[in-house]
Amino acid sequence: MGDRRAVVTGIGCVTPIGTGVQAMWDGVKKSESAVRSIDRFTAEGLRSRIAAQVTDFDPIQYMDKKRAHRMDRYSQLSVAAGSLALEHAGIRPENAEQERVGIFMGSALGGIAFAEEQCGQYYTGGYRSVSPTLGFSVFGGAASCNMAMAFGFNGPNETNSMSCASGAVAIGRALQSIRRGEADFILAGGAEAPLSPLSFGAFDMLRAMSTRNEAPGRASRPFDRNRDGFVMGEGAAVLVIEDEAHAKARGATILAEVGGFSVSNDAHHMSAPLPCGSQASRALRQALADADMSPDDVGYINAHGSSTLLNDVTESLVIRSVFGSRPVAVSGTKGLYGHPLGASGAIEAAITCMSLSDGWLPPTTNLEDPDPQAQLDLITGDGRSVQADAALSNSYGFGGINATLVFRRV
């Protein structure tokens, strides 16, 4: 069982820069930020009034009206991304061995936006005005459970809530499950729908979000000297993580191998990284060891790059501590689609896989004046046409969570 290898055979995305893997990848190559002024709700009185919104999502394209009506936006995004991933992988759910298919998802806030909406209904109209679906819509596990019911998959199923590392952790757990022989393939990723007044306002009060309201498209700027905070986003991404032998037997196209994974905790502060970055460095080293690789094997890092003052400096320190003076290409892609919290690690894993498959490394959008504290080989301009053999994707989150995924070109 320990010799089983996990590969990526499908990607499904619903993001501010595109829906579907090709549209998302085209959006990355276009390198144009999707951040705009919020129109989902009135942001008057908030310091930050910008976000990366998914503007073209219609759940009826992915499920019937009855099923869509029983889900909040968070679960709808999950099912849609899962449907797109299965389609991309060439898998028809009814033809799969249902008990051999798992689902691992991640989300920082789950269905909190729907709960917030229903609180308003309660305060104005009492109990009878509240949706009867509230109780089973807002818990985090609604994502993976709704996906299981939509596709009929009975294998291992869970949704973690490890803040902004949730999507990466879900993919890492899928790797471990494949290695243990628990499933033939797993839908793994993250989903987030946090753009509601109270949820957004709570982050605004933390003063961690950008206030570049007059220039939204330039607000999310990882590793830039003039960054002033992250930009909240929404979306979902799901990867089909498949046992390599199973994938080859059905003639699947393999995009990349999931080579390694590790997670650690700073045990330091709920919202600030450990300044020395030692535990994030340990996670990175352990992920490489899990993949039986060394830093010299890595050709690209998709950084967490949240565009916050503390995270970008600490992540730079982490990368330098592991790679030393050896230059390794780095980019932070949140300049395009903001920070969709628990979905970000899954979206960035998808981008990393496409980078390996396509032989092109994306630039760091809005990087105009690199922070001198970064001291990294940051990709700018039109990106780089480079065929990297292996790549990392870092994800960090509230509570001191550090997660690193290792991908290999196949």
As annotated, the active-site residues are 164, 304, 339
- Spatial separation of the C-alpha atoms in residues 241 and 98, rounded to whole Å: 15
CA 52-56-59 angle, to 5 degrees, is 115
Q: Which of 304, 305, 341 is nearest to 77 (CA)?
A: 341
Torsion-angle region of residue 279: left (phi > 0), alpha (psi -120 to 50) or beta?
A: alpha
Structure tokens at 280: 């994030």
Specify whether the CB–CB gap between 217 and 35 falls below 8 A.
yes
CA 113, distance to chain mean position in Å, is: 18
Residue 202 neighbours by CB under 8 Å, 6+ apart: none
- Spatial separation of the C-alpha atoms in residues 260 and 43, rounded to whole Å: 41
- Burial of 310 per CB tally in 10 Å (0-12, 13-18, 19+): middle
- Cross-strand partners of 331: 302
- Burial of 158 per CB tally in 10 Å (0-12, 13-18, 19+): middle
Pairing outcome for strands 36-37 and 50-51:
antiparallel
Q: How far are the Cα atoms of 10, 149, 390, 401, 403 from residue 260, in angstroms, in the given order?
A: 18, 30, 11, 17, 11
